[in-house]
Amino acid sequence: MSDLIPPRLRNDCFAMPQGVTWVPVDAALDRLRAVLHPVTATEDVAVADGLGRVLAVPVTAQRSNPPLPNAAVDGYGFAHAATGDGVQRLPLAVGRSAAGQPFDGALPHGQALRILTGAVLPDGVDTVVLEEDCATDGQTVAFDGPVRAGANTRRAGEDVAAGAQALPTGRMLSPADLALLTALGVARVAVHRRLRVAVLSTGTELVSDPTITAVPHQIYDANRPMLLALLAGWGCEVVDLGHAPDDPAEIADRLDAGALGADAILTSGGASAGDEDHVARLLRDSGTLSSWRIAIKPGRPLALAMWQGVPVFGLPGNPVAALICTLVFARPALLALSGAGWRQPQGFTVPAAFAKRKKAGRREFLRARLNDAGAAEVFASEGSGRISGLSWATGLVELPDAACDVAQGNPVRFIPYAAFGLSFGG
């Protein structure tokens, strides 16, 4: 008879093992931040092709916006010094100033000129009165004084002056940035080459072709389309390394391929310490695994390592944990690698539309969405295999490392997916 004694049952599979040092999320982020630097070369692109690209040098305004003083409304322009209090009657000059069709010459003092929105103010005009505030018979313009000097005009360079810095290094160009640079006469910009990120799924149970009928003990590879789409949305060039079974030689081959063609690698699955957790084992054997046991839920295990000099994010296999670890750890890291600089998502405080008690020691991210009253609801189940909750959510509620007892209406931090650069969801 064996005298084997079973361990005491634990009903929480996420209970923190005793005697292990768990790295707080912020400490893990700080370590990542300290070691990652931009890796990409620079190239020149047309501003119109610059969406989502990261500026490699600051951009200087080539001309002022607006380039010349101009009218902000349709109306009549004149020299303010020629007007005073009470009803003003000014003779109307012949001609007009319209956008793209400036008035030829200077306006004589004491006269008024028809002027349209965006038209350059000719010499002799520094103030414009709104058309609706005037009466005219074609010869004279009448309006009530006093009028404020400079009313309804835009000063040259009042937005940005020529020679001023328009955008700093590291800026990821938005549609509004393309408008700004174009207005400032900037045609081309130096940007970082797109970051190339490889994605590998691991797990013998996975079927990567959704047109193949999976047998019951198999599951479809849900992580790869999610991660590839996420990275493409972040402006990365994606390298699809496919899916490898739980076989160390095969995983090593794929990692080699990834290291050759990519600046960073995301793997999912096999990152823990189980019999078939070959990603973690390979990274440990290659001597570069920073085996960070990070105090995050969901997300254990997360293996952060270098493979042939290329950073690898060994994500957990569970799609919920894989996505959350990608958002929390991989995104700021990829931004740093891409030259955009380390950036944390901006969350905001909203009332909780839920109640929850948590123990100290681990930061928790809950799948959440805002209800019509602006309060955060959380997904009914916290199970990290519940992909439907990821899809239901429009963001995450972040609960602090410390113990907390959240009651309905208490303030909680909500981070919309959009703050992670995700333009979908909800």
Single out the segment in contact with ligand AMP by CB under 6 A; choices: 61-69, 103-111, 174-182, 197-205: 197-205
Nearest approach in angstroms of CB 317 to ligand AMP is 2
In three-state secondary structure terms, 397 is strand
Nearest approach in angstroms of CB 247 to Mg ion is 12
Question: How is residue 419 annotated by DSSP?
Answer: G
Residues 40, 269: Cα–Cα separation, whole Å: 28
The interface partner of residue 294, options being ligand AMP, Mg ion, none and the CB cut-off 5 to 8 Å by kind, is none
Q: Can you say whether the dihedral through the CA atoms of 153, 158, 162, 168 is positive or negative? A: negative
Whose Cβ is closer to ligand AMP: residue 205's or residue 401's?
205
The residue within the footprint of ligand AMP, chosen from 27, 219, 273, 380 (CB under 6 A), is 219
The residue within the footprint of ligand AMP, chosen from 316, 332, 339, 421 (CB under 6 A), is 316
Asked if 235 is part of the footprint of Mg ion (rule: CB under 5 A), the reply reads: no
Asked if 316 is part of the footprint of Mg ion (rule: CB under 5 A), the reply reads: no
Nearest approach in angstroms of CB 215 to ligand AMP is 14
| Chain-centre distance for alpha carbon 372 | 24
Q: At which residue do the structure tokens 């599951």 appear?
A: 219
In three-state secondary structure terms, 248 is helix
Pair 54, 170: CB distance under 8 Å: yes
Asked if 50 is part of the footprint of ligand AMP (rule: CB under 6 A), the reply reads: no
The residue within the footprint of ligand AMP, chosen from 223, 326, 338, 394 (CB under 6 A), is 223
The residue within the footprint of ligand AMP, chosen from 25, 206, 305, 325 (CB under 6 A), is 206
Asked if 75 is part of the footprint of Mg ion (rule: CB under 5 A), the reply reads: no
Count of positions on this chain that bind Mg ion (CB under 5 A): 4
Pair 163, 61: CB distance under 8 Å: yes
The interface partner of residue 116, options being ligand AMP, Mg ion, none and the CB cut-off 5 to 8 Å by kind, is none
Asked if 272 is part of the footprint of ligand AMP (rule: CB under 6 A), the reply reads: yes
Single out the segment in contact with ligand AMP by CB under 6 A; choices: 22-30, 53-61, 216-224, 410-418: 216-224
Residue with the CB atom nearest ligand AMP in the bound state: 317
Residue 113 vs residues 74, 98, 102, 148, 322: alpha-carbon distances, Å: 11, 11, 12, 17, 66
Q: Does a cis peptide bond (omega within 30 degrees of 0) precede residue 66?
A: yes
Pair 388, 421: CB distance under 8 Å: no
Count of positions on this chain that bind ligand AMP (CB under 6 A): 17
Of 60, 58, 70, nearest in space to 158 by CA: 70
**Which residue(s) pair with 352 in the sheet?**
376
The interface partner of residue 60, options being ligand AMP, Mg ion, none and the CB cut-off 5 to 8 Å by kind, is none
Single out the segment in contact with ligand AMP by CB under 6 A; choices: 77-85, 139-147, 312-320, 332-340: 312-320
Nearest approach in angstroms of CB 315 to ligand AMP is 8
Single out the segment in contact with ligand AMP by CB under 6 A; choices: 50-58, 156-164, 248-256, 311-319: 311-319
Pair 426, 360: CB distance under 8 Å: no
Whose Cβ is closer to Mg ion: residue 270's or residue 421's?
270
The residue within the footprint of Mg ion, chosen from 75, 77, 269, 319 (CB under 5 A), is 269
Q: Tokens standing for 130?
A: 């709104």
Nearest approach in angstroms of CB 387 to ligand AMP is 8
Pair 32, 125: CB distance under 8 Å: no
| Chain-centre distance for alpha carbon 200 | 24
Asked if 318 is part of the footprint of ligand AMP (rule: CB under 6 A), the reply reads: yes
The interface partner of residue 111, options being Mg ion, ligand AMP, none and the CB cut-off 5 to 8 Å by kind, is none
Beta-carbon contacts of 125 under 8 Å, excluding residues fewer than 6 positions away, are 77, 78, 79, 97, 107, 113, 115
The residue within the footprint of ligand AMP, chosen from 222, 255, 310, 390 (CB under 6 A), is 222
Beta-carbon contacts of 389 under 8 Å, excluding residues fewer than 6 positions away, are 320, 367, 379, 380, 381
Pair 202, 279: CB distance under 8 Å: yes
Residues 276, 270: Cα–Cα separation, whole Å: 6
Asked if 203 is part of the footprint of Mg ion (rule: CB under 5 A), the reply reads: yes
Whose Cβ is closer to ligand AMP: residue 152's or residue 201's?
201
Residue 111 vs residues 88, 101, 131, 175, 315: alpha-carbon distances, Å: 11, 20, 16, 42, 73
- Chain residues that interact with Mg ion, rule: CB under 5 A: 203, 269-270, 317
- Chain residues that interact with ligand AMP, rule: CB under 6 A: 201, 203, 205-206, 219, 221-223, 268-272, 316-319
